[in-house]
């Protein structure tokens, strides 16, 4: 009985850490997060993605039910998602793109820590928003939009623990460095959650295609991150989430 209660408490603690990291919901643990706790809780990232996808689905459904056209409905959906997540992944994408403009590794990392957004970052952010908006608007049908949003947000966050596990951190400090390397069971759990969601959304063939595209995107970003920055950072993880989300939405738009 004691072990069951302790396991349940650990489960709840992991969920609180994951939700507080991936959203702006005030559900974080009351005590300070210890070293390695974020890595251990990384298996909950897809669950946080499920919540984000459901909120986006609800906003899109309400917009359509009030006779809003697909284009503004898609924009309202993205706005709600940005509010819920605090645009943390978008910020990471923009900072990573800006970092590519530095001449040395140290300068690149310094640029990524700068809160100001540069030309590369603005362009990357604009492309990300346009691709996500256009795919949602193109799908249009609410039930298919729901499938696309949920699968995209779950699968995109399911990639992050594996990326953290395989790509070393570029620096010891910062969110990614302090989080540490996720334990292998957390990586597998997150990947399984993502794969199951994709299977429900696209079936076996569509899932295989999506996984191959996600793997290619992750390999390209990992190689760039290692060559440009010496490894991954919290910003690179945000860029990974954005790229993966776009990949799944593009696949969804081609299938629905």
Q: How many residues does the chain have?
A: 256
Answer yes or no: is 105 within a domain: yes
pLDDT over 80 (residue 251): yes
Answer yes or no: is 29 within a domain: no
pLDDT over 90 (residue 203): yes
Number of domains making up the chain: 1
What's the whole-model pTM score? Answer: 0.94
Mean pLDDT for the stretch of residues 94-103: 94
Answer yes or no: is 23 within a domain: no
Range with the poorest average pLDDT among 20-29, 42-51, 193-202, 224-233: 20-29
Answer yes or no: is 169 within a domain: yes
pLDDT over 80 (residue 23): yes
Answer yes or no: is 20 within a domain: no
What is residue 28's predicted lDDT score, i.e. its pLDDT? 76
Distance CA 157, CA 50 (A): 9
Answer yes or no: is 55 within a domain: yes
Which residues span the domain enclosing 108? 51-255
Answer yes or no: is 33 within a domain: no
Q: Binning pLDDT at 50, 70 and 90, where does residue 2 land?
A: low
What is residue 174's predicted lDDT score, i.e. its pLDDT? 64
Q: Binning pLDDT at 50, 70 and 90, where does residue 37 land?
A: confident
pLDDT over 80 (residue 172): no
Give 46: exposed, middle or buried? Use CB within 10 Å, 0-12, 13-18, 19+.
buried
Residue closest to 245 by CA, chosen among 111, 129, 108? 129
Q: Binning pLDDT at 50, 70 and 90, where does residue 227 land?
A: very high
Range with the poorest average pLDDT among 46-60, 138-152, 169-183: 169-183
> Could you give the dihedral angle defined by the CA atoms of residues 235, 111, 35 and 82, in that order, rounded to the nearest 10 degrees?
-40
Answer yes or no: is 112 within a domain: yes
Distance CA 68, CA 220 (A): 38
pLDDT over 80 (residue 162): yes
């Amino acid at each position: 009985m004691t072990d069951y209660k302790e396991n349940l408490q650990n489960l709840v603690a992991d969920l609180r850490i994951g939700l507080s990291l991936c959203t702006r919901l005030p559900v974080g643990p009351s005590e300070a997060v210890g070293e390695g706790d974020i890595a251990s809780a990384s298996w909950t990232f897809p669950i946080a993605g499920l919540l984000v996808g459901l909120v986006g689905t609800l906003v899109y459904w309400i917009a359509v039910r009030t006779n809003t056209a697909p284009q503004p409905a898609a924009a309202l959906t993205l706005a709600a998602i940005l509010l819920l997540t605090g645009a943390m992944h978008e910020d990471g994408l923009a900072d990573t793109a800006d970092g590519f403009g530095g001449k040395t590794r140290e300068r690149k990392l310094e640029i990524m820590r700068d809160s100001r957004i540069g030309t590369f970052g603005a362009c990357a952010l604009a492309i990300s928003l346009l691709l996500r908006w256009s795919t949602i608007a193109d799908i249009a049908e609410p039930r298919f939009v729901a499938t696309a949003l949920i699968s995209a947000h779950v699968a995109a966050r399911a990639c992050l623990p594996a990326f953290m596990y395989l790509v070393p951190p570029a620096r010891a400090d910062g969110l990614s460095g302090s989080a540490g390397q996720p334990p292998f069971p957390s990586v597998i759990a997150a990947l399984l959650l993502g794969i199951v969601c994709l299977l429900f959304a696209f079936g076996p063939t569509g899932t295989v295609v999506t996984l191959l595209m996600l793997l290619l995107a992750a390999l390209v970003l990992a190689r760039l991150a290692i060559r440009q920055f010496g490894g991954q950072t919290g910003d690179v993880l945000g860029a990974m989430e954005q790229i993966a989300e776009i990949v799944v939405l593009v696949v969804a738009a081609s299938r629905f």
